[in-house]
Amino acid sequence: MFKKKKSLLTVLLLAMLSVLMLAACGTKDDSESGSGSGSKESKNSLEAIKEKDKIVFGVKNDTRLFGLKDPKTGNIEGFDIDIAKEITKIILGDESKAEFKEVTSKTRIPMLQKGDIDAIVATMTITEERKQEVDFSDVYFKAGQALLVKKGSPIKSIKDIKKGTKVLAVKGSTSAVNIREKAPDATVLEFENYAEAFTALKAKQGDTLTTDNAILYGMVDEDPNYQVVGDIFTDEPYGIAVKKDSPELVKAINDALKELQSNGKYDELYKKWIKTSN
């Protein structure tokens, strides 16, 4: 009886201890993210970044050519990643000071607002609605919405989307909203991310997948049985998003983008990722 009681006590004590540890970790996390997100009014976001000497970028992990996680290395690679590295090089002097966190279209704004990341470079279209929530840099990539179909599909352009055509899209993306406007008869199915949407298209769960042509070209690059059809039917200018009211950081990023344009680095990266796929 005595022994049993003792072991019971030990289990309970251990359990409480671990909860305390957990709580301690939790508060540590909080204080870190608190200082990371720009210490209130006293310091602006650019100074905060220079102080901690790193920039944490939110990037896609499932978007070929822009941000794709390679299971072999665990690294994320793509145009967005390289742009982020070059910007970091200009602002902090060393591209290795860029850190990357995985985001989805749905998680990226919440993560920016809570200070998990300093900037979003994740195929993010500049829109008026989003400007209410975040600040955007200048356009760094001009994309437009298009359709992806399996080769031989009867769908050749947006006009071929009829009643009952299943169009696959991603939750929280502008393309899901646009397609409902441009093709109101379509059945739109929204998935959590591009990997799931493309897997669903391959599994014939839809007739076409819609999003920005740049992302679709990445999918074609991955699987040449699919093709992008029709003209683009929206303009999707990509911008780099930072926390609302950080003019200093926006300016630093814009200056860096201009420098990349003028020194030829931008064209080099564009050719490396985008041109090869066309």
Partner 1 sequence: MDFTGAYTPDHLKFLFDGFLITLKIAVISIIASFVIAAIVGVIRYTKIPVVSQVFAVIVEVIRNLPLLLIIFFTFFALPEIGIEMSIEMAAIVALTIFEAAMISEIIRSGLNSIDKGQIEAGRSSGLTYVQTLWHIVLPQALRRMVPPIVSQFISLLKDTSLAVVIALPELMHNAQVINAQNVNFIIPIFILAALMYWVVNYVLSIVARRLELKTS
Partner 2 sequence: MLDFSILTENWDMYIEGFINTIYISVIGLIGSFVFGTILAVFRIAPFKPLNWIGTIYVEFFRNIPLLIIAFFLFTALPTIGIQLDGFKAGTLALIIYTSAFIAEAVRAGILSVPKGQTEAARSSGLTYIQTMNLVVLPQAIKIVIPPLGNQFINLVKNSSILTILAAGDLMYQADLISTRTFVTFDVYIFVALFYLVLTIPLSTGVNYLEKRLAKSN
- DSSP letters for 207-267: SEEEEEHHHHHHHHHH-TTEEEES---S-EEE--EEESS-HHHHHHHHHHHHHHHHTTHHH
Among 5, 72, 204, 275, binds partner 2 (CB under 8 A): 204
Tell me which of partner 1, partner 2, none is bound by residue 103, counting a contact when its beta carbon lies within the kind-specific cut-off of 5 to 8 angstroms: partner 1
Distance spanning both ends of the chain, measured CA to CA: 76
Among 176, 209, 229, 240, binds partner 2 (CB under 8 A): 176
Spatial distance between the Cα atoms of 80 and 64, rounded to a whole number of angstroms: 10
Burial (Cβ within 10 Å: 0-12, 13-18, ≥19) of residue 71: exposed
Closer to partner 2 by CB, 161 or 256: give it: 161
199 binds partner 2 (CB under 8 A): yes
Tell me which of partner 2, partner 1, none is bound by residue 191, counting a contact when its beta carbon lies within the kind-specific cut-off of 5 to 8 angstroms: partner 2
Q: Are 58 and 116 in contact (CB under 8 A)?
A: yes
111 binds partner 2 (CB under 8 A): no
Tell me which of partner 1, partner 2, none is bound by residue 129, counting a contact when its beta carbon lies within the kind-specific cut-off of 5 to 8 angstroms: partner 2
Q: Are 126 and 139 in contact (CB under 8 A)?
A: yes
Q: Are 228 and 220 in contact (CB under 8 A)?
A: yes
Spatial distance between the Cα atoms of 35 and 32, rounded to a whole number of angstroms: 5
Among 16, 51, 53, 157, binds partner 1 (CB under 8 A): 16
Q: Where does this chain touch partner 1 (CB under 8 A) — which range of 65-73, 140-148, 175-183, 257-265?
A: 65-73
Helix/strand number for the chain, H first, E second: 10, 15
Closer to partner 2 by CB, 32 or 223: give it: 223
Least CB distance to partner 2 at residue 156 (A): 23
Residues that bind partner 1 (CB under 8 A): 1, 4-5, 8, 12, 15-16, 18-19, 22, 26, 29, 33, 61-62, 69, 71-72, 74, 102-104, 106-107, 110, 113-116, 192-193, 195-196, 198-199, 202-203, 222-223
